[in-house]
Structure 1
Amino acid sequence: MKEAILLLEDGTYLKGKALGKFSTTTGELCFNTGMTGYQEIYTDPSYYGQIIVNTNAHIGNYGTAAKDNESDSVKISGLVCNAFSHSFSRAKAEASLQDYLDRAGLVGIWDIDTRALVTHIRSKGAMNAIISTETTELEALKAQLAQVPSMKGLELSSAVTTEKPYFVGNPDARFKVAVLDLGIKRNILNNFISRDSYCQVFPARTDFATMQAWQPDGYFISNGPGDPAAMSYATQTVKAILEAGVPLFGICLGHQILAQAVGVSTYKMHNGHRGLNHPVKNLITGRAEITSQNHGFGVDKSSLEQNSRVLVTHINLNDQTIEGIRIKDAPAFSVQYHPESSPGPHDSRYLFDDFVQLMKDKR
Structure 2
Amino acid sequence: MRILHTSDWHIGRSFHGHATLDALRGVLDALTAQVREHGVDAVIVAGDVFDSATPAAGAYTLLTDTLGALADTGATVVVTSGNHDSAARLGFQSSLLRDGVHVVTDPATVGTPITVADEHGPVHIYGIPYLEPVLLRATWPGVRSHAEVMGHAMNLVRADAAARGGRTVAVAHCFAAGVEPTPHLERDIQQGGLDIVPLSTFDGVDYMALGHIHGRQQLSPRVRYAGAPLHYSFDEGHKPRGSWLVDLDADGLDRVEWLPLPVPRTLTTLRATLDELLSEERFMAHAADWIRVEYTDPLPQRDPMRRLLSRFPHCAEVRHAPAVTAAGDARTYTQRVRSARNDAELVDAFLAHVRDGEGASPREAEFIGELLDQRTRVEATA
TM-score, reference length from structure 2: 0.26
Rg larger in structure: 2
